Amino acid sequence: MTIPKVDTLLLPFLRAISDQEEHKIKDIITTLADKFDLTPEERNITFSESSKDKIFANRVYFTRLNLKMANLISAPKRGVVKITEDGLNILQQNLSHFTTKELSQLEAYKNYRAKIKAKSAIDIADEEEEVISDQTPEESMESAYQTINEELAVEILEIIKSNSPDFFEHLVIDLILKMGYGGSRKDAADKVGKSHDGGIDGIIKEDRLGLDVIYIQAKRWDNTVGRPEIQKFAGALEEKRANKGIFITTSQFSREAKDYISRINKKIVLIDGESLQSI
């Protein structure tokens, strides 16, 4: 199930505290999660792997903030909320939906926003057209972050494609070294752009002692890399008596190419343009 957003949570939040008693926000989070039949996994989804903030709990907190700004709930003490007369009046209207758009038209909400703007000295040209978002601040920041990352990734890939194949080969070696594999830049550079021995563009020591090596092929292509190219690379590995290889391209791999590496004994990792952007 999709995790409900603020627009979907406004009315259920008010109904959950319609008994006019004081309720702890942590209990409301559980009540609403139960109402929407969220699984344990859905309740614990965070904004990212490095984040500890749970998306659903964050949306409930932001729902509370919006309701309080509109004077539909009060906060008699920290972590506790209670419905107000204005909140009860909203419920008595038996509305089928009540979103942030409708909430932003309430007089109490407008007055609250006006006070905030006055304190912040923010000049709003056309306040009547201002509509609040149902995204939490964290979600807005995450969305903006993702957009910037995607645009930057596309731009970087275009820069790579505009340079020479030799530049791409050296870039790939640097990238893999930065990922923590052993060996030195000089060790790798001796093999890049010079011998092209059997389709091998570079060699990286898997560890600093050089107990095992990884052979690399880098293709700055626009066309799809098919099975024949991967077979040639696998053949080059066989000649070197090597078992590990990385094939990197700025384009993409065909289904046949991916299927081929899944059926051979050698370990060949395929990294296409899309994956390259995220490394």
Per domain, the residue ranges of the chain are 6-145, 163-278
Contact 82, 74 (CB under 8 A): yes
Strand-strand pairing, 244-249 and 73-77: unpaired
Predicted pLDDT at 127? 42
Top-level CATH class of 163-278?
alpha beta
pLDDT at 103 exceeding the cut of 80:
yes
pLDDT at 87 exceeding the cut of 80:
yes
CA atoms within 13 A on the CB side of 221: 16
The average pLDDT across 88-95 equals: 94
Report the run of H or E that residue 202 belongs to, with start and end: strand 202-205
d(CA 181, CA 212): 11
Q: What is the mean pLDDT of the chain?
A: 79
pLDDT at 56 exceeding the cut of 50:
yes
pLDDT one-digit tens code per residue, 220-268? 888 899 999 999 999 888 888 888 888 988 888 999 999 999 999 889 9
Q: How confident is the model at residue 169 (pLDDT cuts 50, 70, 90)?
A: confident
pLDDT at 51 exceeding the cut of 50:
yes
Q: What is the pTM of this model?
A: 0.49
